[in-house]
Amino acid sequence: MEEIKTITVFCASSSKIDDCYFEEARKFGEVLAKENIACCNGAGSIGLMNELSEAVLENGGKVIGVIPQFMCEMGWQHDGLTELKVVNSMHERKEMMANLGDASVALAGGIGTLEELFEIITWKQLGLYSKPIVILNTNGFFDKILDFLDQLVEQNFMREEHRKMWKVVERAEDILPTIRSFEVWDKNIRKIAAIK
């Protein structure tokens, strides 16, 4: 694939989670800074989003945060980011984050992270998004969801080809090599989005 300049990351805003998730978020932030790749995230000031942003910034990297106005009014934004983009809605936030990144990565997270991951997979299935999607499966966090995705294929709710829309890694240091190894995704895949 072409040079990676920015990676969009979906991840938790919760701080009451196991240390292993913070460790992997920090490692990934360090990798991004070292590789001079900007991180785009949801601009939160707590949880894995904060840990990731701090790791990037502390190592001389760049973080672009995208956040809706109502969240700024709640004071949820990280004020030390390289760039903070304030938008009107969650829909606008997700679209901008998808457009800014050369790939999307999902770390552990709650319902918001899962919603972002499933939406970007849906866009890819419909040929609206052709960039790599990587899931960091720290501590087996996504195991049950990955099993469920397999079930969708096995029961003909998705095609076998759709398994290629994402890749799964266990360690933060494997994310970039995996992104770089992605095959080019054909936008014409939308022709087989439905199973008849």
- Per-residue pLDDT, 67: 98
Task: Say how many domains are in the chain.
Answer: 1
Tens digits of residue pLDDT in 79-103:
999 999 999 999 999 999 999 999 9
CATH number at residue 132: 3.40.50.450
Does 1 fall in a domain? no
Q: How far apart are CA 66 and CA 164, in angstroms?
A: 28
Q: How far apart are CA 109 and CA 181, in angstroms?
A: 25
Does 99 fall in a domain? yes
Residue ranges of alpha helices (H) inside 5-110 are: 19-34, 47-58, 69-73, 90-100
Phi-psi region of 60 (alpha: psi -120 to 50; beta: other; left: phi over 0): left
Phi-psi region of 50 (alpha: psi -120 to 50; beta: other; left: phi over 0): alpha
CB 61 within 8 A of CB 33: yes
By three-state DSSP, how is residue 182 classified? Answer: coil
With cut-offs at 50, 70 and 90, classify the pLDDT of residue 185.
confident
Residue 1 has pLDDT above 70, yes or no: no
Q: How far apart are CA 40 and CA 49, in angstroms?
A: 10
Q: Which residue segment(s) compose the domain that 29 sits in? A: 6-177
How many other C-beta atoms lie within 10 A of the C-beta of residue 2? Answer: 5
Q: What whole-number percentage of the chain has pLDDT above 90?
A: 91
Token pair 């960039």 is found at: 131
Q: What is the pTM of this model?
A: 0.95
Residue 132, burial from CB neighbour count under 10 angstroms (0-12, 13-18, 19+): buried
Tens digits of residue pLDDT in 50-79:
999 999 999 999 999 999 999 999 999 999
Angle, helices 111-125 vs 90-100, to 10°: value is 60
CB 16 within 8 A of CB 108: no
Does 193 fall in a domain? no
Q: How far apart are CA 137 and CA 106, in angstroms?
A: 9
